[in-house]
A and B are shown apart, each in its own frame.
Chain A
């Protein structure tokens, strides 16, 4: 399960870097922006997963 989550994180990070490099001219700025967006997305996804787990236990 943990390995699946980590692998999902890696492909999300790659996609985020490619996507932001299309939007920003500077490569350095694109990497910084891509990493920032990836971290926020991943934290939201983890929080959502934890909330779902807690909710399913409560049910």
Chain B
């Protein structure tokens, strides 16, 4: 496999695991930190609002499709909160679900942006963004 192909696949995997890590790999360090802070903030706020119960395969499988795009945090949450049960009414559960889902979907946009950066690095005649 070509080196640049390997690099982008690795970058996409890193971004899926931790938002912004792929951008860091491509030298966009300020943006990498920016994306990591914003997406992690949205995800952790969502978990906090949902009292750490809004990432679940059984309860919110549809939301999980969106959450899973932020792979590292979602898998970690699934692992750490799998024993928690909903025993009372959680006031902001709907908002928490929205936050975690939006964090996952924003990471899709970051993944696409990383791929675009890769294409411009690979074909500099199309104009580099940096």
Q: Which residues of A contact B (CB under 8 A)?
A: 3-4, 7-8, 10-11, 14-15, 17-19, 21-22, 25, 27
Contact = CB atoms under 8 A, between A and B. Distances in A.
23 contacts: A3-B92, A4-B95, A7-B49, A7-B92, A7-B95, A7-B99, A8-B95, A10-B45, A11-B98, A14-B38, A14-B42, A14-B106, A15-B102, A17-B34, A18-B39, A18-B106, A18-B109, A21-B31, A21-B35, A22-B109, A22-B113, A25-B129, A27-B34
Nearest to A8: B95
B35 to A, nearest CB: 7
A59 to B, nearest CB: 27
Interface in B58-111: 92, 95, 98-99, 102, 106, 109-110
Contacts of A14: 38-39, 41-42, 102, 106
A11 B92 contact: no
Contacts of A22: 109, 113
A35 B85 CA distance: 38
Given A4-B95, A18-B109, A19-B109, A11 B102 contact: yes
> Interface on chain A toward B: helix, strand, loop, or mixed SS?
helix
Contacts of B92: 3-4, 7
A21 B102 CA distance: 16
Contacts of B126: none
Given A7-B95, A17-B38, A25-B130, 12 more contacts: A3-B92, A4-B92, A7-B49, A7-B92, A11-B99, A14-B39, A14-B41, A14-B102, A17-B34, A18-B38, A18-B39, A27-B34
B1 interface: no
A4 B93 CA distance: 11
